[in-house]
Homo-oligomer: A and B are copies of this chain.
Amino acid sequence: MRRASDDLVAEIEVRIASGQFENNKPLPAERDLMDMFGASRTVVREAISTLANRGLVETKPRFRPVVKKPDYGTVLTATSNIIEHLLSEPGGVTDLYRSREFIERSLARHAALHANKDDIADLKSALAANYEAIDDTPRFFQTDMEFHGVLYKIVRNPIFPAIHEGYLSWLSPSWGKMKRAPDHNLVNYHAHKKIYDAILERDPVQAENAMDEHLAVAWEVVKDTLENK
């Protein structure tokens, strides 16, 4: 069987894709949509709710829903709830972190093999910013993420930066509890430098190992905090 709201969802999706409902602009008012599609408000609201959970519109209570053309980032927001459930289960965070190790290890290897001049330059400046921030822990955290982010960019595939965003949003809550002293930052900086050097030397194995080591050390630091939880 078919629900009336499903038809409406489909029609609105078309209008979003065709640009009739412009991106980042509010959807027409519910009562206008009723007239527009000859549907009851119940159906209209149900359709909007579905679209919101699909990530095609963003709803803030009491505000007009805003049209959002989907990108790989929307996939994250749509999944974040489920992921949070999974992370709360035993081993959840571990699995996610291990997957990150797998990905970033491969990213380091890939960078060593395929990074071009611009990529290297980006890495270099990210590393420099990282160094500058050693005494400023919050900023170090920021530059730390950005250094890793450059690696996700090097594959030149929009899916990967989205994955990076995912790891950040799902893992950094657990991360926050980590003790972050300047001497600790220094350790991480050196790990980043080692990765950078290996990429510069075009040594994939070394890059991979350096990344692996870096992430393993970081894991040791947070591991205990997580298991308690």
Chain A residues at the B interface, C-beta cutoff of 8 Å: 1-3, 13, 17, 45-46, 49-50, 53-56, 61-62, 70-72, 74-75, 78-79, 81-83, 85-86, 88, 95-96, 98-99, 102-103, 105-106, 109-110, 155, 157-160
Contacts and interface: CB of A to CB of B under 8 A. Distances in A.
B1 A61 contact: yes
Stoichiometry, as copies per complex, reads 2
B50 A17 contact: no
A82 B53 contact: no
A86 B102 contact: no
Contacts of A46: 45-46, 49
B82 A55 contact: yes
Q: Which one of A49, A82, A103 has the greatest number of beta carbons of chain B within 10 Å?
A: A82
18 contacts: A17-B88, A45-B46, A46-B46, A53-B53, A53-B54, A56-B85, A70-B82, A71-B86, A75-B79, A95-B159, A98-B155, A98-B157, A99-B157, A99-B159, A102-B106, A102-B110, A106-B106, A106-B109
